Chain A
């Protein structure tokens, strides 16, 4: 007897819905075992991770703050991935968006230039991200260069450009040589939504992005084109869809969204341009995009869920002294189970008689 994976003739809708739930259930079981091994009460640990952050306005707002850039970037990436375009460099587009938008904040610092600054920064941030994404897009369209490599490598270039600027020309003259710009003026800062807490208008922008992407993918020809080119390139060619133009389009949109997320993050919660503005948002967003099954609403949920694990993990460090590493283990296990369970959508597990024995029988 042995277990084999057998390809399903048809995709199972029931499994498609059940798969993420199964993955979460398996993650919870595994984590409970790990908590127990560490000598922590699993029920209490899971409570601290998943329930406690939802019971308090401060942590709820912080979840939104953390999820905002993740959701924005991931929605853009999902368009690429649906079209079979592999943009891995959202981190670089995020940074270049932050850099381009910050330019205005730096040159107008202390001059009280008026309320046009912030909107102009947002536009420049989106443009900066989109232009940075154009490099791998054009290299792919024109020269057939693999966009996975080019977009990823440009992350490090972007990082170094930012590094150069904040250590050199843009460095805060009063900052004791530390690599950071001066704090942005209030006119160059994304306002918070409420008196207390850090939740800012960027969170609403992320919701708008989710809504627009849902409409575009579900109701427009462009959305249809993206999905056809991704799922059946030959059919798309017969239908007259231009896959090269689509590469440029999806890269531009995802670059612009990553750039917008970058400038919102810098002009919002951070308030200065400095190395370390992104704790890897551009890469985490790839996980968010796939956890959300490349669907905008799914991405919103996945982004909030991942943010919850970050905040809950911090709470667990404080109240239960659970090490940070366990939070990372936890996120890794979750992704592992999600991918593993997804294979059940296309395949099914069957128990069959060992083929070896069968072979003996006929011989």
Chain B
């Protein structure tokens, strides 16, 4: 027994001492805080793919750690600080709810760099990054307007935050270009990830005569329901074609890898600055999955729309944008709505058959 304890103690000591020496020096330690499990096939999974892409690019210049399933409640501040305390020099917190905890820890550790996804609070050592997902939504709208036979689209929405509202608006604006009388039904499920609720919402929409389903939630459940019902759907976060080989028209793919690589490189060569990054199709933070299950002319139209958005000749929020009451919205960006109006969007455009919850 005594011998065993000695061995244990020696082993523990060696571990501690090697732990300190190995991680020092040149390698940049990078930490990630994930909301869901890495296997959620949605939001967190795509951040994990982004991390893997960065590791592949930068090889042994970086060492990464992630904490998964970190709830946005009392635990997140501790988890972020744990990473800060264990020598991580660059920390990505990948959900909106980590905003205040990230800011608190960033103030406590001014030498460590923080990057917060989809938030709006920044500091000298805390930047933010997000994707222009509404660009992809607009393309989906263009396709859906063409493909829908019932003229009614269904939208499974998570929370009435500006990003989600902008997504709904971009969808219908795109759809109106191909079918001026298109209707859009919205169901709020008040969750980002709950396959049961998402499937129920998809069934309810299908029962109401919807024949194209799109979602701003993370699981492939709605895609599977659409496949069973023989209607069409769009994937979200990742390419969900394997859940609906005959169902998926395209998918919005969150492509974080290039950004993570860029930020890590900047941190390595000392040029990192806390910035507000908002990238879209052009910068490849948002990608469209292959256009499938549609006739060639619709596919060509979708590709053309994508090319125009990338070239900057088409903006989903081109003025005049009509509000739900049919009156044009103030146009702060000259020819288009400005970024602030999109990032803080709190109104529906004409044609949305819904009321923003709590408004």
Contacts and interface: CB of A to CB of B under 8 A. Distances in A.
14 contacts: A41-B11, A44-B11, A44-B12, A163-B190, A167-B190, A176-B344, A178-B159, A179-B190, A279-B74, A317-B68, A318-B83, A319-B86, A324-B69, A325-B37
Contacts of A279: 71, 73-75
A301 B120 CA distance: 41
B311 to A, nearest CB: 31
B85 A58 contact: yes
B65 A317 contact: yes
Given A318-B86, A321-B65, A274 B358 contact: no
A224 interface: no
A45 to B, nearest CB: 10
B72 A274 contact: yes
Contact of B73 (A167, A276, A317): A276
Interface of A: 41, 43-44, 47, 51, 58, 62, 65, 163, 167-168, 171, 176-179, 183, 198, 265, 269-272, 274, 276-279, 311, 314-315, 317-319, 321, 323-325
List of 10 A-B pairs having minimum Cβ-Cβ separation, nearest first? A269-B74, A276-B73, A47-B12, A43-B11, A44-B15, A279-B71, A168-B358, A177-B161, A277-B73, A177-B160
B77 interface: yes
Contacts of B65: 317-318, 321
Given A279-B75, A324-B68, A43 B12 contact: yes
B293 interface: no
A314 B162 contact: no
Nearest to B78: A62
B81 A269 contact: no
Interface of B: 7-8, 11-12, 15, 19, 31, 37, 65-69, 71-75, 77-79, 81-83, 85-86, 96-97, 100, 120, 159-162, 165, 190, 344, 346, 356-358
A171 B356 CA distance: 14
B162 A177 contact: yes
Nearest to B357: A167
A179 B79 contact: no
B358 A51 contact: no
Contacts of A47: 8, 11-12, 15
Contacts of B8: 43, 47
A158 B353 CA distance: 30
A198 B82 contact: no
A14 to B, nearest CB: 21
A278 to B, nearest CB: 7
A311 B85 CA distance: 14
Given A177-B358, A321-B65, A315 B74 contact: no
Contacts of B71: 276, 279
Which of B165, B190, B346 lies at the interface centre, i.e. has the most chain A CB atoms within 10 A of its CB? B190
A35 B337 CA distance: 55
Contacts of B356: 177
A273 B7 CA distance: 49
A158 B74 CA distance: 19
Contact of B82 (A168, A177, A278, A314): A314
A12 B161 CA distance: 60
Contacts of A168: 358
Given A177-B159, A177-B346, A314-B79, A277 B12 contact: no
A44 B12 CA distance: 6
A139 B29 CA distance: 56
A51 B9 CA distance: 11
B96 A178 contact: yes
Contact of A176 (B66, B79, B86, B120): B120
A44 B11 CA distance: 7
Nearest to A167: B358
A265 B357 CA distance: 28
Nearest to B104: A271
A171 B161 CA distance: 12
A278 B73 contact: yes
Given A163-B190, A179-B159, A51 B12 contact: yes
Which of A62, A176, A325 lies at the interface centre, i.e. has the most chain B CB atoms within 10 A of its CB? A176
A322 to B, nearest CB: 11
B100 A272 contact: yes
Given A279-B71, A279-B73, 17 more contacts: A41-B11, A47-B8, A47-B11, A47-B12, A58-B85, A171-B358, A177-B159, A265-B74, A272-B100, A274-B73, A276-B73, A277-B73, A315-B82, A318-B67, A319-B86, A321-B65, A324-B68
Nearest to A197: B81
Contacts of B120: 176
A319 B100 CA distance: 25
Nearest to A61: B78
A32 to B, nearest CB: 11
B230 to A, nearest CB: 34
Nearest to B66: A317
Given A47-B15, A177-B162, A271 B100 contact: yes
Contacts of B100: 183, 271-272
A44 B78 CA distance: 23
A221 B190 CA distance: 49
Contact of A65 (B67, B68, B78, B79): B78
A42 to B, nearest CB: 10
A133 to B, nearest CB: 22
Contact of A269 (B19, B66, B67, B77): B77
A292 to B, nearest CB: 22
